[in-house]
Amino acid sequence: MKALVYHGPGKKAWEEKPRPAIQEETDAIVRIAETTICGTDLHIMKGDVPTVTDGRTLGHEGVGIIEKAGKSVMNFKKGDRVLISCITSCGKCEPCKKGMYSHCENGGWMLGNTIDGTQAEFVRIPYADTSLYHAPEKVSDDALCMLSDIFPTGFECGVLNGRIKPGDVVAIVGSGPIGLASLLTSKFYSPSEIVMIDVDDGRLEAAKELGATRTINSSDGNAADRVMELTDGKGVDVAIEAVGIPATFDICQSIIAVGGHIANIGVFGQSVDLHMENLWSRNITLTTRLVDTVTTSMLLKSVEAGTLHPERLVTHHFPLSDIQKAYDTFSRAKEEKALKVVLENK
């Protein structure tokens, strides 16, 4: 089969690899129908994720058809159309029993990290019964692919950890796919204002189309001042950090209201300053989280009911064989006006 293979920082190749086989009776082999590229994949290509080694097939998101299921797989059979979770969970260890599938002692973030991933024609899924979801017949591959990672991530790490309530003023710092997923799912809780902050006017325009009530371009360094002006000096009830750099975290610290929640989603590769001299008395909450995908079933039902449309984030389609071109487009998101690119294995 063909797969996108990592060969060290800045090096990847679309090349032949052996088709995956059942290793444990709880495994399933899935023929990929559609996959996508995540910002995490770009971090891997920069060498930021040392657990990814030379020879690894990349990718942790996708939709496909069961090609073969191990003898112990009870919930799925050959021919089933499935959504692949970005998180692999055994369902039996202590973290899994607490709903922290991301910290599964036998799984967690494995695909495209410690085992071969989904940017290939076929992929092996460990613990298939607890790491796959039946795909509703009427839901498109585009919508399903967005539920592998970014929508559970935006919803769990941003919206739920931020404890958004009806009438809240919410600011989301970062209008990339994760920030926009947070925007769409925050509307479940009817906030009065959703302020999107980014340096890219194209992404801010997309945020407006998706329901942002206000947008702020932060490239001038004055975003926090403008948010405070908009809120009459009170700040926001919920600040969601969806980038992962010190500058965006600083904005969140500067705009949070008394009793507010800062919900971090961004993947940080460097330290940040926590300004306790300003925050110690303000009754705020700061949360961090790696997505557990505990809400995937609920999000699937919302898509099936027509109340959530994750496919609106898909801006580009490529054949799977053109994945190198797709990476180039995704890595130049501002110039290409790209949000999510999907790869189709027809």
Cβ contacts of 241 within 8 Å, gap of 6 or more: 173, 174, 248, 249, 252, 262, 263, 264, 265, 266
Rounded Cα distance, 249 and 181, in Å: 19
213 and 193 co-located in one domain: yes
pTM for this entry: 0.96
pLDDT at residue 274 is higher than 90: yes
321 is written with which tokens?
């064989």
217 and 314 co-located in one domain: no
CATH code at position 201: 3.40.50.720
155 and 98 co-located in one domain: no
Average pLDDT for the chain: 97
10 and 140 co-located in one domain: yes
Confidence of residue 27 (pLDDT cuts 50, 70, 90): very high
Range of the domain at 117: 2-149+292-344
One DSSP character per residue, 113-168 reads: TTB--SSBSEEEESSHHHHEEEPPTTS-HHHHHHTTTHHHHIIIIIIIHHT--TT-
207 and 266 co-located in one domain: yes
Task: Please tell me the number of Cα atoms within 13 Å of 17 on its side-chain side.
Answer: 23
218 and 163 co-located in one domain: yes
pLDDT at residue 48 is higher than 90: no
Rounded Cα distance, 70 and 126, in Å: 10
pLDDT mean over 118-141: 97
pLDDT score of 1: 97
CATH code at position 136: 3.90.180.10
**70-101 residue pLDDT tens:** 999 999 999 999 999 999 999 999 999 999 99
299 and 186 co-located in one domain: no
Rounded Cα distance, 211 and 105, in Å: 39
Residue at which a domain ends, from 272, 287, 302:
287
18 and 129 co-located in one domain: yes
pLDDT at residue 121 is higher than 90: yes
pLDDT at residue 270 is higher than 90: no
pLDDT score of 128: 98
**How many other CB atoms are there within 10 angstroms of residue 328's CB atom?**
12
234 and 181 co-located in one domain: yes
**305-333 residue pLDDT tens:** 999 999 999 999 999 999 999 999 999 99
pLDDT score of 346: 85
Rounded Cα distance, 125 and 69, in Å: 9
257 and 330 co-located in one domain: no
15 and 145 co-located in one domain: yes
pLDDT mean over 291-308: 97
Looking at the chain, the whole-number percentage of residues with pLDDT higher than 70 is 100
Q: How deeply is 91 buried, as exposed, middle or buried, from its count of CB atoms within 10 A (0-12, 13-18, 19+)?
A: middle
Rounded Cα distance, 27 and 125, in Å: 6
Confidence of residue 217 (pLDDT cuts 50, 70, 90): very high
pLDDT at residue 268 is higher than 90: no
Residue at which a domain ends, from 255, 272, 287:
287
Domain count, the chain: 2
pLDDT at residue 158 is higher than 90: yes
178 and 71 co-located in one domain: no
